[in-house]
Amino acid sequence: MKILTIFISFLFISEASNSHSHFPITRESVLMIAKGKIIYESNCIGCHQVNLGGAENWRDLDKDNHRKAPPLNGTGHAWHHDDVNLHNIIKYGLVKLVKNYDGKMLGFEKNLNDEDIDSVLSYMKSFWPNDVYQQQINLSK
């Protein structure tokens, strides 16, 4: 009985923290990817670069000791996060999500709605190797 209660409360918590029941985001819609590309090119490309390759030597810090933009194309570690986390990182920025974090990526909650953010995620995933994509989809279910 106790185990069942724990299981049910776990389900409840994961439901509550996941307001987007449409996760995982796939790369099945050509339209969504095309929209994501446009959004990426007007909001993200300056830091994350063409083809989502990230800043040069992205593992090093920049001259003001901040992290540089990591790649989003499946070579970095963006795909280690599930969709809820990726969505929140884009929406709020790590600066808002992590206490005392001094980062350069501000969130996009004022400029992009949830659907826009999901399109960018779909676009990002269109770059990922199949095994990476599949692992991250499983993580996001």
Interface residue with ligand HEC, options 25, 32, 33, 90 (CB under 6 A): 90
Q: Is 108 in the site for ligand HEC (CB under 6 A)?
A: yes
- Grouping H, G, I as helix, E, B as strand and the rest as coil, residue 33 is helix
Are 121 and 38 in contact, with CB atoms under 8 Å apart? no
The residue to which tokens 């003001």 are assigned: 64
Interface stretch with ligand HEC, choices 13-21, 26-34, 89-97, 126-134 (CB under 6 A): 89-97
**86 lies in the site for ligand HEC, by CB under 6 A:** yes
Question: Distance between CA atoms of 75 and 52, rounded to whole angstroms?
Answer: 10
Nearer to ligand HEC, 5 or 65 (CB): 65
Give the end-to-end CA distance of the chain in Å, rounded to a whole number: 26
Query: CA gyration radius for the chain?
Result: 16
**Which residues lie near ligand HEC (CB under 6 A)?**
43-44, 46-48, 67-70, 72, 76-78, 86, 89-90, 94, 103-105, 108, 120
